[in-house]
Chain A
Amino acid sequence: MELIRLTPQDLTVAASLVLLTAALSWRLRLGVEGRLVWAAARSIVQLLLLGVVLKTLFAQANPLLIGLLALFMLAVAGYEVMARQQRRFGGAWGIGIGTLSMFVSSFSLTLLATRLVIGIEPWYTPQYLIPLLGMLLGNTMSGVALALNNLTENAVRQRGEIEARLILGHGWECAIEEIRRTALRTGLIPIINAMAAAGVVSLPGMMTGQILAGSPPLDAAMYQIMIMLLIAVGTSLGAIVAVWIASRRLFDERQRLRLDRLD
């Protein structure tokens, strides 16, 4: 079965439905029509741009260009992790913690997947590398951001409890231990839920795409399994790195709780 190509007219139909929804929001005074239209317009432009960029990239398969795009995606993901924080670390730490944990969660696993699991030649073949990286970045990002946000929020809220333990001579790791554990758990819940619902409640995006493109459903399921497992591992690794560095940064060399390091 050949993929039926969408024409600009088909997209116009979908887009006018969005406009209709915006009109409804305006009529019901929900107040989201502006944001809805803006976000829809953004996603259209971003995805079309990505399509153009990928087209050139796939045609050339230039490792340097692929690397640049990968770094750009990483930087945006790192920024996005920081932007989702209610309380951010000041200075370079804010963006640094996000970017480093996204690097660990996504880059390392994408490399592992392309080199060892799928085994494509060359390993940087953009048709595999870029979608895999994008999917890992996009899906691990929310878990990492959630874990980090939970850590700093609880550290601020439970300041008294943390300091009560420091005062009694407990070490910083002991004083933040439970908050750390809660943060990690919070970060992992979305992917655990997604894995539990996969195939029963939801048909995951990658599998849907492959089936639409004409892949046999079982092949599509196998790819989806690999991606889900990688996302679960990536989210765990990324959240552990983020929570570990951030909780260390909450204390100084004399084991004082330094909430002033958060903006």
Chain B
Amino acid sequence: MHGLTLAHFQSPGLAPIDLSLEPGRCLAVSGPSGSGKTRLLRAIADLDPCPGEVRLDGSARDDLPTTQWRRQVGYLPAESHWWRARVGDHFSPSPHDLLHALGLEPACLDWEVARLSSGERQRLALARLLANRPRVLLLDEPTANLDQLNIERVERLIGGIRETHATAVLWVSHDPAQRRRVASRGLEIRNGQLEPEIWS
């Protein structure tokens, strides 16, 4: 078990990155807007071409089929997109446990995407991603549109999955208190460098 490792990974706007994220650990990432956090997550999820090496549990990304890589390295963009009109058409089978943990009723699967609130969209997008049971989670501001109660639900759900399934988590958050709650260590993007964030 090695988790996710990056070696000389060159994400746009950032100096080459060497990083190792062990299974079951959560790493918080912060930095000013436009500093390259989203581009880093996209590059790890193999959505943008990017030189350098990424491995998951020892196997290099380029040795795995892309579809398999993206299922195992699950990326949650800050804004969710839906390609069908009905919520339930994005799920198979319906993840009732996940919905419950996120405070959503099973009936929401019959709702129309266009009528969802931004908070519902965000939680449903998370459920949609978690249904794939990824080995690594790349979360881009997963609680940005949520109220306090739902923020706690998401944090509890992710924390539980991290512990029971040894899922590695990379969590981008603007909230310093949240970073300390969910992660065991933090990295901060400063002048194009990923530096350890000092938590006193």
Q: Does A86 contact B (CB under 8 A)?
A: no
- A-B contacts besides A161-B82, A254-B49, 12 pairs, CB < 8 Å: A161-B83, A163-B81, A165-B83, A167-B70, A168-B132, A169-B71, A178-B83, A254-B62, A254-B66, A255-B66, A256-B48, A256-B49
- For B46, give its contact among A161, A168, A254 (CB under 8 Å): A254
Whole-angstrom distance between the Cβ of B71 and the nearest chain A Cβ: 4
> Could you name 7 residue pairs across A and B whose Cβ atoms are closer than 8 Å?
A161-B82, A164-B81, A169-B67, A169-B68, A171-B67, A254-B66, A256-B49
Query: Does chain A have a CB within 8 A of B75?
Result: yes
The minimal Cβ–Cβ distance linking B112 to chain A, given in whole angstroms, is 15
A169 to B45, CA, bound (A): 10
B63-89 contacts to A, CB under 8 A, are: 66-68, 70-71, 74-75, 77, 79-83
Query: Smallest CB–CB gap between A131 and chain B, Å?
Result: 45
The docked-state distance in angstroms from the alpha carbon of A161 to that of B82 is 6
In whole angstroms, what is the CA distance A255 to B75 when docked? 15
Which B residues touch A165, using CB under 8 A? 83
8 Å CB interface, A165-193 against B: 165-171, 178
Overall SS of chain B's interface: loop
Contact across chains for A167 and B45 when beta carbons are under 8 A apart:
yes
Q: Which of B24-55 contact A (CB under 8 A)?
A: 45-49
- Tell me, yes or no, whether B129 is within 8 Å of chain A by CB: yes
Q: Is B179 engaged at the interface, CB distance under 8 Å to the other chain? A: no
Q: Which residues of B contact A (CB under 8 A)?
A: 45-49, 62, 66-68, 70-71, 74-75, 77, 79-83, 128-129, 132
Write out the residue numbers on chain A whose beta carbons fall within 8 Å of the beta carbon of B49.
252, 254, 256
Asked whether B47 lies within 8 Å of A168 as measured between CB atoms, the reply is no
Is B71 a contact of A168 with CB atoms below 8 Å?
A: yes
A136-168 at interface with B (beta carbon < 8 Å): 158, 160-168
Q: Render A91-111 as a binary contact track against B, CB cut-off 8 A, 1 for contact.
A: 000000000000000000000
A254 to B83, CA, bound (A): 21
> Chain A residues near B80 (CB, 8 Å)?
164
Give every chain B residue within 8 A of A168 (Cβ-Cβ): 70-71, 128-129, 132
Task: List B contacts of A164 (CB < 8 A).
Answer: 77, 80-83
Report whether A169 and B132 are in contact in the complex, using a CB–CB cutoff of 8 Å.
yes
Give the interface centre of A161, A162, A168, A178 by most chain B CB atoms within 10 Å.
Answer: A168
A170 touches B66 (CB 8 A): no
Is B82 in contact with A170, judged by CB distance below 8 angstroms?
A: no
Report yes or no: B79 in contact with A167, Cβ–Cβ below 8 A.
Answer: no
- Docked pose: A160 CA to B82 CA in angstroms: 8
Whether A166 lies near B47 (C-beta < 8 A) is yes
Q: Are A170 and B77 in contact (CB under 8 A)?
A: no
- Chain B residues with Cβ under 8 A from A161's Cβ? 81-83
Chain A residue nearest in CB terms to B46: A254
- The docked-state distance in angstroms from the alpha carbon of A163 to that of B66 is 13
**How far does the alpha carbon of A161 sit from the alpha carbon of B49 in the complex, in Å?**
19
Specify which chain A residues have a CB less than 8 angstroms from the CB of B45 in the assembled complex: 167
CA distance A252 to B71 in the complex (A): 18
Q: Give every chain B residue within 8 A of A167 (Cβ-Cβ).
A: 45, 47, 70, 74-75, 77, 129
In angstroms, Cα B48 to Cα A171, docked, is 16
Q: Are A256 and B83 in contact (CB under 8 A)?
A: no
Report the separation of the CA atoms of residues A246 and B42 in the bound assembly, to the nearest whole angstrom: 24
State in angstroms the CA–CA spacing of A60 and B10 once bound together.
64
Residue of A nearest to B83 (CB): A161
**6 A-B pairs with the lowest CB-CB distances in the bound complex, closest first:** A160-B81, A169-B71, A164-B81, A161-B83, A255-B66, A169-B70
List chain A residues, Cβ under 8 A from B83.
158, 161-162, 164-165, 178
Contacts of B74 in A (CB 8 A): 167
Chain A, residues 109-149, CB within 8 Å of chain B (1/0): the string is 00000000000000000000000000000000000000000
B132 cross-chain contacts in A, Cβ below 8 A: 168-169
Closest residue of B by beta carbon distance from A158: B83
| Residues on the A chain within 8 Å of B79, using CB | 160
